[in-house]
Chain A
Amino acid sequence: NAGVMQNPRHLVRRRGQEARLRCSPVKGHSHVYWYRQLPEEGLKFMVYLQKENIIDESGMPKERFSAEFPKEGPSILRIQQVVRGDSAAYFCASSPWGGSSYYGYTFGSGTRLTVV
């Protein structure tokens, strides 16, 4: 299956720990997007990356959150010193280009982060 792969599917962290969320885009896709979904809400944009570059991080909290998409390997969303308010579903999407053809824009199944 060539879809967007996210892992882990579920992640439980204690307050103050670090959370690392991984996203492997569709093979051949070089654009990755991260979104956050709180319960009973729509998805909120966090960050848009191309290989080795952050293009738009306007939706990322200024502290504790970082994202990377290295030349080799998956994209990583890192949350340091997690707090209860970070509990949410985090979705990754990928596309083969940064254009407006959204038939190529595919979402993964998400990582559900629970902070206890």
Chain B
Amino acid sequence: GQQLNQSPQSMFIQEGEDVSMNCTSSSIFNTWLWYKQDPGEGPVLLIALYKAGELTSNGRLTAQFGITRKDSFLNISASIPSDVGIYFCAGLIMEYGNKLVFGAGTILRVKS
């Protein structure tokens, strides 16, 4: 089946730092989505990307849909403590219906 490889698995951030994570796949996706999940909660959509090459921002978050349609990245600029959590990429292949394929997640923690 389709798989998304998300990296890094985890990272520590210091307030004010920029953060970058990405997802790659051997499959071509029609839509890329980035979600954030806080402990004990469901995923919340951050950014949706629908076209190859698309670059979209949502406040301090920027995401891009790769030209090959096989990858996407998410950048967080000037991180703040409430950015900690788990970030998931998810992809959709229209030929396979409306089910999302999720990456394994990137855990963001605060450096102490």
Contacts and interface: CB of A to CB of B under 8 A. Distances in A.
Real binding pair: yes
Interface in A26-60: 31, 33, 35, 40-45, 48, 55-56, 58-59
Interface string B28-44: 00110101000011111
B103 interface: yes
> Size class of B's contact patch?
20 to 34
A55 B105 contact: no
A40 B102 CA distance: 12
A41 B42 CA distance: 13
B65 interface: no
Contact of B43 (A41, A43, A58): A43
Interface string B74-106: 000000000000001010101001111111110
Interface residues of A, number: 28
A100 interface: yes
11 contacts: A40-B104, A42-B6, A45-B100, A55-B98, A56-B97, A91-B42, A100-B30, A102-B31, A102-B92, A108-B42, A110-B42
